[in-house]
Structure 1
Amino acid sequence: MQPMEGSDKSVASSASTANNTGTSGESNLLDQLQDLHRRLAGVRQSSQRYNASTRNTGPVPMAHETNKIIVCSVRRCLRMVKTQDDDAWQYIISETGFRSAIDYLAKRNTVEWITWPGAVVDESSQDGVRRKLESEFNCHPVFLSNDILDLFYNQFCNETLWPLFHSLSQRSDNRLLENFHDKYEAYCLANQKFLEVVSEVYKDGDLVLVADYQLMHLPALLRRRFPEITCAFYLHCPFPSSEFFQMLSARESLLQGVLGADLVVFNHFDYVRHFLNACTRMLGLESSPSRVEYNGRLVSLGICPMGIDPPKYAITPSIKDQVARLAKQKQKNMKILVGVHTLDFCKGILEMLEAMDYLLQHYPEYRGEVQLYAIVRDYGRTASCQYKILSRQVDELVGKVNGKYGTAEYCPIRYFKRAIPLEQLIALYNVADVAIVSSIKEGINLQAMEFVASQKDTGHGVLVYSEFAGCASSFQGALLVNPMHIEQVAASIDTALKMNPTTKRIRHEQLSRYVNTYTSTLWSQRTMSALNQAAAMAKDYNRLEKLDTAQLLGYYERSQRRMFLLDHDGTLNNYKSMSELAEPSAAVLACLEELSADPRNSVYIISGRTKYWLEKWYGHLARVGLAAEHGFWFRPAARFSPVPAAGRVQRSIINNIPDPIDEADNSSGSSVDGVAPTSFNIGQAQHLAPSSDPTRPSSTMSVASVATTAGGTVAQESSDEEDRSSTRSFTPINHKEEFSLPEAQPWQCMFSDVELEWRHDVETILEHFTERTPGSLLDIKDCSCTWHFRDADSAFGLKQAKNMQLHFDQMLRDRPVAVVMCRIKKYVTIRPWRVNKGRAVSRILEYECESPYFSPSSFDFILSIGDERTDEDMFNVVQGSNSYTVTVGHKVSRAQYYVEDPDEVLRVLTACNALSTTDRQTM
C-alpha cells in the first residue's frame, strides 16, 4: 500500500504543478493581450482627430482685440455663503467641468461671467458684493429677491423643468399645474434681469454663451436687443422627447427662446433628435439633422459632450497623505465602494442604496468586507418640498441598511450629507475598488470621469455605470447596468469585486482614453469654433438682398453665353397641389420660347413634377431643357445646327418665333414613360391649340390614339399636315451662318442605379396617412413619393405631416433616402438622397460644356431661380461671381437675392427678352 500512497502523492503533485502552470499560462496570455491592447490604443490615440498636436490652442478668433466672451449661467461660476464667525460672505469657486472649460478660455481670451451669486443679498450690501465680484472674479452678479428666487429657481426650474427634462413627469405631479402662471412669470423676469446685466457689458463683436435650462429665454431676448449678436446656448441636462416636453404650457416660448442663438449645443445625439422633433411638432419648423430654420434665420445644432480637466485629479503629495490615512482607516481586506451624487431623484440614490441592501442580503460573504461611501450634495435644493422628501427617504434607507447589517466594528454605509473638499474626494476615488453611477436619467455624469482620472496611477477600480446616463455607449470599459434592476446592479458589483487585476487594467485604459480625449478643454475649443462657424453660416444664409433688376440686365446684355436654371412650382407659376391645375400661363410659355430662341441662351426647367407633366407643358419647346423629379429624368435642351447654304429660307426671329402647334405638327409622336391619364384631348392641352394669329398658317391637330406599352402609357399625337417640312432656319444674332430649328431630344434617366427597394413600405404608409387625412393627395412618381396636405385642414394637415416626417426619419434613418417637408407649399416628399437639383444642375452643366470637367465659369451669365429647400442644392452648385441665385420670397436661403413672387420672376425674364429684341433690332 505504501507505493500506492507515494504514487497518489506524485499524481497530486503533478496535477498541482499542471494547475499552477495553467494559471501561469493564462496570466501570461492576459498580460500579452493587455500589451497588445495598449499598443493598439497607442495607434488609435495617435490618429485621434482631436489629439493634442492638432487642437487649436490659441485664442478664440474675435472681431477685435477688445472683444470678449460673456458667459451667462445661474450657478456654475461660484456661490456665496455666510461664515459662521463674523457673518461675512465667503466666495466658493465652482469645481464643475463647465467652470474648467471656461477657465481654459480665460487663459487666452477676456472672459466675463454673468451669474446669480448663489445667495440672496440685501440691497445695502449689493454694491459691495458687486465690486468684489467684478474686481476679483470677473463676475457681474444678477441679484434676485427671495420671492423671485423661490418661484423661478426652486419651483419652476427645480420642480417643473428639471423633472420633465429628465423624463420624470411623475415627480412634477400636481405642482406642474399649481400656480404655473406665477412661476413662469418669475422665470421670464429672471431672464429679463440677466438681459439687463448683459446689456451693460456687451459690445459689438463679443461672443455670448448661455448655459442651461434656467436661461432658455435669454438667447431670444438678446437677439431682439442686439440683432447681430453671436450667441450660443449650451444645455447640460438632457432634452426630453416631445411627448414629455409638450406637457409644458410654455413649450413654444421656451423653444423660441433657445432658437434666438446661432448655435445650440447638446451632450448627446438623442437630445438633438428630441429637440428637432419638438421644433417640428410644436413650431412646425423645417429642419435637417444639424440645422433649424427659424424666423428667417439659420440655427445650427451641435453635439459636444462635456468633460473634465484630468490634470486637476492628479495625485499630489498632499493627496498621497490623505490616501495613506484612508488606507489606515480601512479594515483588513475591506473593499471600498463609492457613490457621489447630487440630491436628486434622477441620480438614482435610492436605487444604489437598495442595491447595497440586496448585495449584503444575497451575498453574505460581503458582510463586514464591503463598505459604501455615499456622498450626497444638496447644492441648496433642500429648499424644495420634493427634495426634502427625497432627503428623508435617503436618511431612512441608510439607517435601515446600517441597522440591519452593521455592528460595533462595521458600518456598511458611510453617509456624507454634504460636499467634501476636492482633495479628499480625489483620495477617496483613488482607494475605491468600485464606483457606482446609478442615474435614472442624466445628461452626462462627470463624477464617473473624476473617478477614472483619479485612478490614473493605480487603475485597480471598476466603474459600474448606468446605461441611462450620458455617454454610456462611449464608456466601453464600464460595467453597464439598469439601475432599476436591483439584482443586476448587485451582481455587477460582485463581478467588479472579483475581477482579476489584468482585466481591471484593460477596462481602466479604455475609460482613461475617453476621459483624456473628451476633456473640458476640448469642449471649449470645439464649442467656440462651432459658434464662429455657425455665425458665419447664418450670415451667409441671412444676407439676402432684393434683386437689382437693372444690374442683372447690365450683366445679361454684356454676356455671350448664358444659362437659365428655373424651378416650375412657385417660381414660374403659383404652386398647386394637383398637377392638372399647375399648368404654366401662356405668358410664361411665350417668354420661355423667346428666351430660348436666342442661341446665346441655354434654358432649363428643373422641377419635382413627373416627366409626363413637364413634357405636356413644355414639350413643344425643344430649346428648353427639362429635368423631372429633381433630376431623375433629364431631357437635354436641343442645340442649333448649321443649315447648308443651298435651300436656306430667311426668317425673322423677331416676327416669326416658331409656333408651338407647328412643333407639335412636325413631330411624328412623343412617347412619355411617366404616369399619364387614360385619355388625352385638346382641352387638356390648351397651349397646343391652333394659333389665332392671322399672320401664321392655321393648323389642326387630332388625337390619333392612346396606346399602352411595356414602358407605361404612351400618348401618341398625329398632325393633319404630316407632309409639312420639318426643317426651318433663321439667322441668329451676331452670326453669319444660319441654323436650323432643332428638334426635341429624348428623355434619359440620370440615376438608373439608385436604390428604390424602400418604396413599397413607404407607399403603404403614405396611403394610410392619405386615407386618414381628408383633403390630402398622394403623388407616386418614378423615384419618389410626395404627400400634399395643402387642401386639408391646416392644423390637422400640418400635424399629420410632422408625424409623418418623424416616422419616416426613424424608419429610413439607415437608408439612402431623404425626407423633406415644405411648410410653405405643404407637402412631404420622400426621395433618394442622391437625386437632387444640385446633382441635376451638375449633369446639365456637364452636358452643355460637353465635358465632365465643367465649371460655372464656362458661362459668363447664370441666372438660377427657385423658391424652396430643394432649390438650395441648385444654388450651391452655381455660386460664383458670374451667377445670380434668386429665391422667390424672403426666407433663409443660400441664394444671393430674392424676388417677391412668380409675377416678378416673369417680369425679370421678360426684361431679358426685351434686351435681346433691342439687340436684334439694332443688328
Structure 2
Amino acid sequence: MKLSTVRVDPPRFETPALIPNLLQTLGRSLTSTNEPTPPLTPTAAGSPTSEELFFKLAHSENAPLGSPSEPSFTRKLNQPKSRPRSPPGPAEISEDAQGPGDGYFALPPAPTRHREKRRSSASERPFKGKTWHIERTDQGNGGLKNAVEAAIADGTLHDKTWVGTLGFPTDSLDESVKVAIEGRLREDCDSIVAFPSDKDFDGHYNHYCKEILWPVFHYQIPDHPKSKAFLDHSWKYFEAVNRSVADVIIKDYKRGDTVWVHDYHLLLVPMMVREALGPDAKIGFFLHVAFPSSEIFRCLAHRKQLLEGMLGSTLIGFQTEEYARHFLQTCSRLLCLEARNDGVQLDNRFITISISPIGIDPIQLDQKRKEEKVTEWLEALKTRYAGKKLFVARDKLDGVRGVRQKLLAFELFLKKHPEWVGNVVLIQVALTTTSIVELQSTVIDIVTRINCAYATLDYQPVVYLHQDISYYQYLALLTIADALVVTSLRDGMNLTSHEYVYCQDQTHGPLILSEFTGSASIFNGAEISVNPWDHSRCASALYQALTMDPAEKKQRWDKLYSAVMHHTASYWLRTFLDELERAWVEQQRCGSTTIPRLSTKSLVDAYENSNKRVFLLDYEGTLASWGSPTSIILTSPQRTLDVLHDLLLDERNIVYIMSSRTPEELERLFHRVPDIGLIAESGCFMRKFKSGQWTRIADEQLPWKKSVREILEYYVERTPGTFVEERNCSFIWHYEKSEDSTLAARQAGECCNHVNDSCESYRVHAVPLGGTVLVESRDWTKATAAKTVLELTAEGGSAVDFLMVVGDGRDDEPVFSWANDLATDGEVKSVTTVKVGTKNTQANATITGVAGGLLFFFPQHFPFSVWRLSFPLLAIAA
C-alpha cells in the first residue's frame, strides 16, 4: 500500500525539503525586535539576566532546533524571494488568463519595458549554473511527521509517499531544474512535488488560509471590523493550489493506493481527487485544527464548496467529539444532508466520521531529552532560578493562543498573593507571527507593567522572549517547570502539554490547561482546567498549582501520563488508517456498482427448500409509487393486491407490509387482504399477521411532540407555502410546494439542526427527505418492528428458515442490516435483502423497475404455481 499524505504549510514540505546552498546558520537572536521591550531590572553581580541566559544559548548552537511535535521552531533561510506581495484587489482582477480548475485571477500585465528588465535580472534565475542539495527541515506539521516516522519504526507503515510543495518560490526555476528536483525528491525522499505559481501560493497561504480560514476556524468571527473574510478574491488562489496538489496525486495514483489529505489548507483536494478517480478511491482527510460551530462557519462566502470538498473523502477525522459534532451540524444546516452520529449520508455513499486525537512520539522525545545539551541547560536553569518556582509557557503570539489573558491572570495572581512575589517567575516564550501589531504591543505593555511593579535587584517576575528558543532549551524548561500554563482561546490538540507531561516523570508538576483545547478532551479532568477569559479563576489555578500536595500532584500526573502514552502519534496513525480501511470496505460493500442483481434461480431454490418464510415488504416506492392513498388506489393496487393474496395462499408464508403511513391509511389500502400483517408509522404500530387488531409499540405518551410542533410551526410561519402533517408518532414538514424553493431548502437545514439540537435528550431526530423533513423517534423503527415480527413467528413453534426484505428508502437500511446479521450469525438459514433502485445500500441484492406498479417476470421453464409464489417482487417499482 502506498500512502499519499498531503499537507501544505510553510515551508511547503513536511519531509526533506529543497533548500539552496546559501542556507544560513541556524543561530537565533532572541533580542532583536522592533517593538519596545520592558526595561530590565539589574540583577545581582555576576548573575546573567534571563534574556542573557537564553541569548547565549541561541548564539552557541547551530544544530536544527525543530520540535518533534511543534511546527514553529523558526529558522531563517536565504532563499529567493517571491515576486508577488499580495493578491490583487477586486478592482485589479482580470479573468483573461486561464489556469488550473475554473481559472485564476491575474494582475494586468506590466509594461513591457519593466518586464524585460526583470527577466534580465540575475535574481530571476538564482539556481542557474549553481549546485544545490536537499536538506531536512524541522518546520511544518511536526506531529504528522513524527507519527509517520514512528509508524515506520514500529512496522505499522511500510510504504509512503509525501505530496506537497517546495519550501521556497519556484517561478524563477528553469524547467530542467524542476525536473531534476522532482527526480531527486522522488528517489531520495519518497516525495512528489506540486509547482503552483508563486502568486497562487502566496494568495492561498498568506491570504485565504491565514487571513480567512485560520481566524474563522478559531472562532474569530468574520464580522469583526478587522476581518478580511470579505476579501474573497483570494479564493481563486486557494482553488488553484488545491487543484495543483490534486493533479499530482491523480497523476501518480495507482489502484489500491490510500490518499490521506491533511488540514484546512487542502479542504478541496478530497473531492477533486474523488471526481477524477471515482467511487473506488480510498481517501482520508484529517483536520488538525478546530472545526467551528455552524453559526461561525456559515459566515464563509464559499462555505458550500469547502464542505463539499471535505465530503469527497471516505473518512473524515477530527481531534475531538466537539469538532466532529460541529461538522455534522454544519452539513445538516447548510447542505440539508442527513447527518448521523457516525457520519453523513449522501445519495450515493456514506462518509464516515472519526474522532482521532493526535499525540506525541514518546520514543523520539525520550531520546532527545537524554542528549547532553539538554542536561547542560537543565543545570544552567537550575542554577539561574535556584529557589524560584517556575511557570513556563510557549505560544505563538496570535489572537487565539491567549498570551494576553495569561499575563493578566499572572498579574492578578501577584496582586492577590504578594507572599509569592520574589519567589515565582513566569517564562513566556512568544513565537513571532504575522499577527496584528496591536496584540504584540498590548502584550509588551502588560509585561512592562508587571516587571516595573514587582521586579527587584535580583528578581524579574516575567521573562518574556519574543522569539523562539532552541529545542534543547525547550526540553530543559519543560523538565524544570513547576507548572505549564496553556490558556489558548481555541486550539486543536496542544502537544506542548503532552510533551510537558512526559518530561515531568520525576517532579510531577501540574498542568494548567484551557478548557478550549482539544487536549482537555482526553485528560478527563486530571489537568487544572481554566477558562482563559476568567482571569480570577486562572489566577486561582496558578496558586493551586504552587500549593498542591505532592500526593495529589502524583495522582494527577499518573492520569495525564496514562492518557499521553495511550494517545501516541503511532497509535493515532494506526487507528486512523484502520478506520479508513473499514470505512472503505463498508462503502464498497454498499456501493450500487458492487451489489449484484437479484439471482432468481438462487431465490427460487431457497424458497422451495424452506418450511417457514417471512416477507417484509416496504410499501411506498416499492409496492407503489409515492403519492396520496387515493392516487395509488386508482393506478395499480389491484395487481399488487392479487400478488400478495396469492403469496398468502401458502400457509408457510408470513407477509408484512412496512410503511410510514398511519394505521388508518393502511387499513383502507389493504382491506382486501385481511390476513396480511401491517407495520405502520415506521414501526410505531403493528397489526399482527392474521389478526385484525392493531398494537401500539411506541409509548403512549410522547413528551417531545409539543416542543417539536412549536419548532415546526415556527418554520412554517417563515416559509410560505409549507405545512406540517402530524401523525400519531411523527411529524412531516412539507416544503416541496413552497413559494421560494431556495429559502425553503435553507430553512429545512435550519429546521433539522434546530430539532436535533433541542430534542436530542428525547431521542428524536429530524431527517431531510427530498422536499420534506421527517421528525421521528430513534427508539421505534422498521428494524425494531421486524425483530418483533420474528419473535412472534418463533413463538408459533417452527423456526424461520427463509427471510426476504425488500425496500427502497433510507429507513429500510436498518432492516437490511438486521436481516444480514441474522444470516451471518446463522439464526436464519436463507436471508435475501433487496434494494429497489441504484443508491448505495446494505442490501445484498438490487432490482430495478418502473415506478407505479409491478413488472411481472415469468420464466417459461418454471411452473405457474411456482411463479405465482416466487416472483411477485422481482421487478418491483424503483
Could you tell me how far 1:896 is from its partner in structure 2? 3.5
Quick one: which of 302, 326, 340 aligns to 2:381?
326
Quote the residue 1:574 is aligned against. Answer: 625
Quick one: which of 277, 289, 299 aligns to 1:226?
277
Distance in 1 separating the partners of 2:709 and 2:293:
27
Identity of aligned residues (%): 28
Could you tell me how far 1:414 is from its partner in structure 2? 2.2
- SS of the residue 1:616 aligns to: helix
Cα deviation code 1:813-858 (max 9, x no counterpart) = 233x241414236231212x33211222233233345458955xx0
Quote the residue 2:751 is aligned against. Answer: 804
Quick one: which of 436, 447, 467 aligns to 2:515?
467
Quote the residue 1:199 is aligned against. Answer: 250
Which residues of 2 match residues 668-683 of structure 1 at below 5 A? none
The answer on 1:491 being equivalent to 2:438 is no
Q: 1:566 to 1:524 in 2, by over 3 A?
A: same
> Larger deviation: 209-218 or 754-763?
754-763
Q: 1:919 to 1:321 in 2, by over 3 A?
A: closer
Could you tell me how far 1:215 is from its partner in structure 2? 0.4
Distance in 2 separating the partners of 1:292 and 1:586:
39
Quote the residue 1:77 is aligned against. Answer: 14
Q: Is the 8 A contact 1:163 1:172 kept in 2?
A: no
Q: 1:338 to 1:572 in 2, by over 3 A?
A: same
- SS of the residue 2:136 aligns to: strand
Q: Is the 8 A contact 1:770 1:777 kept in 2?
A: yes
The answer on 1:823 being equivalent to 2:760 is no
Q: Is the 8 A contact 2:215 2:221 kept in 1?
A: yes
Aligned length: 734
The answer on 1:360 being equivalent to 2:414 is yes
TM value normalised by structure 2: 0.77
> Larger deviation: 245-254 or 79-88?
79-88
Quick one: which of 532, 537, 554 aligns to 1:505?
554
Q: 1:920 to 1:329 in 2, by over 3 A?
A: closer
Q: Is the 8 A contact 1:543 1:896 kept in 2?
A: no
Distance in 1 separating the partners of 2:551 and 2:296:
44
Q: Is the 8 A contact 1:164 1:244 kept in 2?
A: yes
Could you tell me how far 1:892 is from its partner in structure 2? 2.5
Which residues of 2 match residues 310-709 of structure 1 at below 5 A? 310-314=362-366, 315-316=369-370, 318=372, 319-330=374-385, 332-378=386-432, 381-382=433-434, 386-459=435-508, 461-475=509-523, 476-544=525-593, 545=595, 547=597, 562-576=613-627, 583=633, 585-599=637-651, 601-638=653-690
The answer on 1:836 being equivalent to 2:781 is yes
Q: Is the 8 A contact 2:349 2:840 kept in 1?
A: yes
Quote the residue 1:888 is aligned against. Answer: 836
Root-mean-square deviation (CA), in Å?
A: 3.2
Q: Is the 8 A contact 1:594 1:913 kept in 2?
A: no
Q: 1:258 to 1:919 in 2, by over 3 A?
A: closer
- SS of the residue 2:648 aligns to: helix
Q: 1:549 to 1:504 in 2, by over 3 A?
A: closer
Work out which of the two has the higher radius of gyration on C-alpha atoms and give 1 or 2.
1
TM value normalised by structure 1: 0.73
Quick one: which of 735, 739, 749 aligns to 2:695?
749
Cα deviation code 1:452-482 (max 9, x no counterpart) = 11101221x2211111111324431222111
The answer on 1:814 being equivalent to 2:761 is yes
Could you tell me how far 1:220 is from its partner in structure 2? 0.7
Which residues of 2 match residues 79-118 of structure 1 at below 5 A? 83-84=23-24, 90-94=135-139, 96-107=142-153, 108=155, 109-118=158-167
Quote the residue 1:877 is aligned against. Answer: 818
Distance in 2 separating the partners of 1:894 and 1:604:
20
Which residue identity lines up with residue 835 of structure 1 in the other structure?
Answer: W
Distance in 2 separating the partners of 1:902 and 1:884:
21
Could you tell me how far 1:210 is from its partner in structure 2? 0.6
Higher relative contact order (CA 8 A, sep 6+): 2
Could you tell me how far 1:175 is from its partner in structure 2? 5.0
Could you tell me how far 1:524 is from its partner in structure 2? 1.1
Q: 1:602 to 1:770 in 2, by over 3 A?
A: same
Could you tell me how far 1:184 is from its partner in structure 2? 0.9
Q: 1:178 to 1:752 in 2, by over 3 A?
A: closer
Q: Which runs of 5+ in 2 are unaligned?
A: 26-76, 79-131, 824-828, 870-878
Distance in 1 separating the partners of 2:328 and 2:667:
39
Q: Is the 8 A contact 1:888 1:900 kept in 2?
A: yes
Which residue identity lines up with residue 742 of structure 2 in the other structure?
Answer: A
Which residue identity lines up with residue 100 of structure 1 in the other structure?
Answer: N
Distance in 1 separating the partners of 2:457 and 2:178:
51
Quick one: which of 185, 196, 200 aligns to 2:236?
185
Quote the residue 1:123 is aligned against. Answer: 173
Distance in 1 separating the partners of 2:228 and 2:561:
41
Distance in 1 separating the partners of 2:183 and 2:451:
49
Which residue identity lines up with residue 906 of structure 1 in the other structure?
Answer: L
Could you tell me how far 1:798 is from its partner in structure 2? 3.3
Which residue identity lines up with residue 97 of structure 1 in the other structure?
Answer: G
- SS of the residue 1:83 aligns to: coil
Q: Is the 8 A contact 1:120 1:144 kept in 2?
A: no
Quote the residue 1:641 is aligned against. Answer: none
Which residue identity lines up with residue 819 of structure 2 in the other structure?
Answer: V
- SS of the residue 2:322 aligns to: helix
Which residue identity lines up with residue 340 of structure 2 in the other structure?
Answer: S
Quote the residue 1:778 is aligned against. Answer: 724
- SS of the residue 2:855 aligns to: helix
Distance in 2 separating the partners of 1:436 and 1:394:
16
Cα deviation code 1:314-335 (max 9, x no counterpart) = 34252333211210111x4212
Cα deviation code 1:174-194 (max 9, x no counterpart) = 65355412x111111111111
Cα deviation code 1:12-71 (max 9, x no counterpart) = xxxxxxxxxxxxxxxxxxxxxxxxxxxxxxxxxxxxxxxxxxxxxxxxxxxxxxx22111
- SS of the residue 1:169 aligns to: coil
Which residue identity lines up with residue 123 of structure 1 in the other structure?
Answer: L
Quote the residue 2:805 is aligned against. Answer: 864
- SS of the residue 1:749 aligns to: strand
Which residue identity lines up with residue 371 of structure 1 in the other structure?
Answer: V
Q: Is the 8 A contact 1:371 1:413 kept in 2?
A: yes
Which residues of 2 match residues 724-743 of structure 1 at below 5 A? none
> Larger deviation: 621-630 or 884-893?
884-893
Distance in 1 separating the partners of 2:242 and 2:868:
65
Q: Is the 8 A contact 2:674 2:692 kept in 1?
A: no
